[in-house]
Structure 1
């Protein structure tokens, strides 16, 4: 066999050109087109390609740190190497890339809250007795929960003049409320003084925060709960009940006073009017008697004996009709007087005074 015949017959493992392996399957010409990966060629690093790559990497690093957005309820506070340089309004803003400039965007329109005496955890409140129990001016203990609402008015001062802003507001609120409660009696704190205390706490906090240039404005302070401690709550309720009874008795007494005083004043005015009328009557009668006496005196000077006799007779006419006496003259002699025996002797003789 020639060498060419052996080559055409196939390789030593039985893989002929026209026959399939292992049993004479179809040949390569029957398998169809085969996928071939194109050869990968590494581009040549020219100076232009290197510059373009560096520019792309630099842009990906610079753009996010140069462009920033400030929301509508925020302001941007820009610092350069840690020193404040400017405050930017809401919108798209630009700055030098990090680490040259850095920006913070605090929410200035958000209403924040600080609590004293409790903490809000979701829908639950956790009491803090070490904060809520306070000493009043009359050395009593009262349990107080306070809520303070505030917002930022100067972002620069808020970020740079105070550290841990939320804790600072809480500490200022606790200081203010303790100082005010310590100057008031417990009755005032628990009853009529709540509204005034809230105003005083708000003003006192604002004074302290302004002193430190905190950039914070206090919106309101609300006493959420004011009550005596649980250990003395029942005794305090008894005291309050007694005070309510006292107030009720006082009001009833005032009502009675308001009723009786006008009546007494009316009676007094009536008596005064009657007395004044009687006074005028007596004065007028006295004046009339005086005028009559003067007239009689003039007549008396003209005829003393006649006038004296007339006055005597007129006087007797007025006196005798009202007397129950019988007068017997000594000069009557032996004439037997006739007395009205049917009448009471006491009426006839007028007791032992008659003769």
Structure 2
């Protein structure tokens, strides 16, 4: 005769025929021992144990060997709380570096009404095991749809220039913050670790036109930078030259003023002496003027006398060279 099978919860107990012949009490005792031992379990180092007593969460158990009352009194779930999970928006990885684009997820509208293809990777892990296990179903689908909605919202706030160029980091951070707020609002027990844009590009039919626009903008920025560099070089030089001219003019002005003041003081001193003795002062001034003039000219001295032997000659050579001196 085959052994008897008794199923308790997810445990199957086989009772040999020899034990059945011994009577019910030994059989019940053995079954009871096996049933009680079924409550022994272990929690891995990357897990926590969430124990439910008659369907209600009663405690959370840390990694290690532990025990719960056997089924159906208590059951335990052991989610991996340190594992970082990953979902992909706009594409799916196929392995060996290949992927497949999901257009219905990647096509998005920017704030200035341009269409772009955006691909995003979201990494997340469990921060509240109880909420993660019992507050919602299909965690991956929930995170995927919330992440797609968050990315669409953030892309719709920005112009295409930000989305395609310098604004990518800002879009990542805003998407992560918005996704986390949505997951927290519904108490999912999920922590968003990272949101990383993989590729953001115009739709394939208009890529060439977008490249032309981007090239023109680069040329514009380059010319602006060159003009600013020229301005930054020429303006300080012009200012320096202007300051030098101003200082030179001020120095010339001060010299002329000081010279004029000296001439005025000298004139007043002469006038004072002239008023004291007009004849003497007039003679002195005449002699001083001659002292300044005569050293610079050629002089002919003719004695004042009645000597009839003196012959006056006209210097024709000097006349031919420039006149009589």
TM-score by length of 1: 0.71
- From the superposition, tell whether residues 43 and 178 of structure 1 become closer, same or farther in structure 2 (CA, over 3 Å): closer
Q: What's the Cα RMSD here?
A: 3.3
- In structure 2, the residue matched to 1:29 is none
The equivalent position to 2:169 in structure 1, one of 188, 192, 195, is 195
- From the superposition, tell whether residues 288 and 343 of structure 1 become closer, same or farther in structure 2 (CA, over 3 Å): farther
1:173 to 2:147 alignment: yes
8 Å Cα contact 2:117-2:203 kept in structure 1? yes
What secondary structure, in the 3-state scheme, does the structure 2 residue paired with 1:119 have?
strand
- From the superposition, tell whether residues 319 and 246 of structure 1 become closer, same or farther in structure 2 (CA, over 3 Å): farther
- In structure 2, the residue matched to 1:105 is 78
TM-fit CA distance, 1:342:
5.7
TM-fit CA distance, 1:308:
6.3
1:156 to 2:141 alignment: no
What secondary structure, in the 3-state scheme, does the structure 2 residue paired with 1:108 have?
coil
1:282 to 2:253 alignment: no
The equivalent position to 1:258 in structure 2, one of 198, 207, 232, is 232
TM-fit CA distance, 1:248:
1.4
Give the unaligned 5+ runs of structure 2: 1-16, 297-313
- From the superposition, tell whether residues 266 and 45 of structure 1 become closer, same or farther in structure 2 (CA, over 3 Å): closer
Mapped partners of 1:74, 1:206: distance in 2: 22
Mapped partners of 1:310, 1:130: distance in 2: 113
What secondary structure, in the 3-state scheme, does the structure 2 residue paired with 1:54 have?
helix
- From the superposition, tell whether residues 236 and 71 of structure 1 become closer, same or farther in structure 2 (CA, over 3 Å): same
Mapped partners of 1:278, 1:68: distance in 2: 102
- In structure 1, the residue matched to 2:273 is 299
The equivalent position to 2:112 in structure 1, one of 121, 128, 138, is 138
Larger radius of gyration: 1
Q: Greater CA deviation, 139-148 or 253-262?
A: 253-262
Mapped partners of 2:74, 2:136: distance in 1: 21
TM-fit CA distance, 1:310:
6.9
What secondary structure, in the 3-state scheme, does the structure 1 residue paired with 2:23 have?
helix
- From the superposition, tell whether residues 118 and 94 of structure 1 become closer, same or farther in structure 2 (CA, over 3 Å): same
TM-fit CA distance, 1:255:
2.4
- In structure 2, the residue matched to 1:115 is 88
- In structure 2, the residue matched to 1:235 is 209
8 Å Cα contact 2:51-2:76 kept in structure 1? yes
Mapped partners of 2:131, 2:237: distance in 1: 70
What secondary structure, in the 3-state scheme, does the structure 2 residue paired with 1:78 have?
strand
8 Å Cα contact 2:20-2:27 kept in structure 1? no
Mapped partners of 1:199, 1:143: distance in 2: 18
Q: How many residues align?
A: 289
What secondary structure, in the 3-state scheme, does the structure 2 residue paired with 1:96 have?
coil
Mapped partners of 1:277, 1:343: distance in 2: 46
What whole-Å deviation, never above 9, does each CA across 1:232-282 have from its counterpart, x for those lacking one? 110000011111111111222222223323332332233223212211210
TM-score by length of 2: 0.77
- From the superposition, tell whether residues 104 and 44 of structure 1 become closer, same or farther in structure 2 (CA, over 3 Å): closer
What whole-Å deviation, never above 9, does each CA across 1:23-60 have from its counterpart, x for those lacking one? xxxxxxxxxxxxxxxxxxx98987x5332123334444
Mapped partners of 1:151, 1:318: distance in 2: 105
- From the superposition, tell whether residues 153 and 45 of structure 1 become closer, same or farther in structure 2 (CA, over 3 Å): closer
